[in-house]
Structure 1
């Protein structure tokens, strides 16, 4: 297997962004009809990225983005996790040059696990202009 260099992926134009996102947007009514929250996009802050990758130094050459889901209630000012509608979410995980997800270990029985990924960014359409 080839090593990851940090140059994977490609930059795309705003036209390509529209072409790639359009099919998902057309599913909004169907997703809502299934009783799910429709998520157009998620925002992740630069400072949160830095907190995630700074401790990793040069070990991190990029990110893997997983698709996940949980139940969320979007009816109030704050999103409530664990109740409400099925909601698709993104999970961003640092990756090393061998293509392996970087994990700084799992917490012991009475200790929290290390912060090894990023999730839960504010969503569009409710938090975007």
Structure 2
């Protein structure tokens, strides 16, 4: 079976009102997440320079990015002096993709991640909103 070819033109631009229509239902679920003991994440920011570094690393092989949903325990960032406990926090992981639709992550393709040096092959860890909006 042949892989679907990606051109770098996938996705579409939308209006501000359509963006709001898509994001509002999630934002209304803030209490649902906090009641479950999870950190609520409205959005995650990624800087243009970090995107450019990732694109430069992979050169012309990178025609776009796949966004994976992740989850890791992080401290809740609030102003209280109380001891902070770690809570499940949604995170985005952006991975470069080639024209065959394959993730471009050499380390994973080599079969190991734990003891291998970090190559900066994917992106995560942007400032979270509502902490930093």
Which of structure 1's runs of 4+ aligned residues deviate more than 6 A?
A: none
Structure 1 position 27 matched with structure 2 position 32: no
Where structure 1 has 5 or more consecutive residues not aligned to the other structure, the ranges are: 78-82
CA distance in 1, matches of 2:50, 2:74: 22
Q: TM-score of the superposition, structure 1-length normalised?
A: 0.87
Aligned-residue CA RMSD (Å)? 2.0
**Matches of residues 37-116 of structure 1 in structure 2 within 5 Å?**
37-75=39-77, 84-105=86-107, 111-116=116-121
Residue 56 of structure 1 and its aligned partner are, at CA, apart by 1.2
Q: Deviations over 1:74-123 (max 9, x none)?
A: 2368xxxxx61111110000000000000133579864132110001001
Aligned 8 A contact 2:7 2:99 in 1:
yes
TM-score by length of 2: 0.84
* Structure 1 residues 66 and 108: CA distance shift in structure 2, 3 A: closer
| CA–CA distance in structure 2, aligned partners of residues 114 and 94 of structure 1 | 13
Residue ranges of structure 2 left out of the alignment (5+ in a row): 80-84
1:39-90 residue CA offsets vs partner (Å, 9 max, x unmatched): 000000111111111021110000000000000102368xxxxx61111110
Equivalences, count: 123
Q: Could you tell me how far apart the structure 1 residues matched to 2:116 and 2:98 are?
A: 25
